[in-house]
A and B are shown apart, each in its own frame.
Chain A
Amino acid sequence: MTPGEFEFLKKFLKERSGLVLSNDKQYLVESRLLPIARSSKLETLSAVIGVLQKGTNKALETDVVEAMTTNESFFFRDKTPFEHFNDTMLPGLLERRAKTRLIKIWCAAASTGQEPYSLAICLKEAQARIAGWRTRILGTDLSNEVLDKAKAGLYSQFEVQRGLPIQMLLKYFDQKGDLWQINAGLRAMVEWKKLNLLDSFSHLGEFDIVFCRNVLIYFDQQTKTEILARVAKSLPEDGYLVLGAAETVVGLTDAFKPVPGKRGLFQRNVAAKTTAGPAPRTFATAGLQR
């Protein structure tokens, strides 16, 4: 890969995914993209980048973006969403779901599993507060490969050292040779399903909390709006939506409104009468009927 090719790739990834690739990440590019070069019969990275430069192979472009971004997940990524979970969402739901004693969480871009497992750890740590409650965590992703990894719950030494306090590692992981495996108790708390957010997800039912972080960035404006409208339908009036640190609903939909002072946290905008998307009008009405 020449410096010029690397520069092109940096720009390409920045535009497509927001991923900022620093100059010391050549090794990362090689380890992630060489498998694509082989499977697409292009053999070399230069050949892959050549095709990207022509802009004629959308499938390859998607593969490259996915390969470079998928594993950017780590435990307790960005911290704040998990603070919101512990301090805002969980207390709120413990109060409002006292009858059903059930909390349902969906991680819509679960990737290799760090986010759902981080939430499972939060729930374990809150054990005293949620005694007698049932919880359900569903992790979905469009890639079977990452879901397999998520299910296995096996992480490298490198992966368990980003975001995970050492005490948590000791408490919730078992050492397996060079790897660390999330313990069986936590693994049993999470279900996994393959799902593309572009497809319908109404069959998944309703959730109290949807984590949908750093995935909408891959879609165009209209698709984002449409996905958010469908997410709104899978949340009750008092449910929560969590987006990535740099993401917002502003300008995309009025199906959601930010929770004041809680960055990345949104709730249904039940009062909204007009919306940008095609579906939201119906649920806004439904909301008002309650």
Chain B
Amino acid sequence: MKQCLVVDDSSVIRKVARRILEDLNFQITEAEDGQQALDECRKSMPDAILLDWNMPVMDGLEFLTSLRGEEGGEKPIVVFCTTENDVAHIARAIRAGANEYIMKPFDREIVEAKFQEVGLI
């Protein structure tokens, strides 16, 4: 079973994402901000990370940049999932090492399509 870390400061979003991803056969861990996510990754690198951008303590982009510098941090497939939906943000995320990008609001079909896109399912 593949592991997916869901990083979002909204518990509602985490819950929705968890439900969708569990249906897609992922085992879920959650983090409320980038720092918590980084701590989780240091414990155990997940296969996939669904990542919000705007969060307190450490935002998604900062987390991604740190992650990619960690040992084994190149391995997880990172899918941004954010309300930031303009070209500039998307391009920055890709440059920082994001593999895919979901613009909120999202639904089951989009998550499934994007995870397929990057070969997670």
Contact = CB atoms under 8 A, between A and B. Distances in A.
Contacts of B117: 165-166
Interface in A146-204: 157-158, 161-163, 165-167, 169-170, 175
A158 B87 contact: no
SS of A interface (majority): mixed
A163 B86 CA distance: 19
B110 A162 contact: yes
A48 to B, nearest CB: 26
A108 B106 CA distance: 31
Interface of A: 157-158, 161-163, 165-167, 169-170, 175
Contacts, number: 29
B109 interface: yes
A161 B112 CA distance: 10
What interface size band does chain B fall in?
10 to 19
Contacts of B86: 175
Contacts of B94: 166-167, 170
Contacts of A161: 102-103, 106, 110, 113-114
B77 to A, nearest CB: 13
Given A157-B85, A170-B87, A170-B90, A165 B109 contact: no
B113 A162 contact: yes
Interface string B34-66: 000000000000000000000000000000000
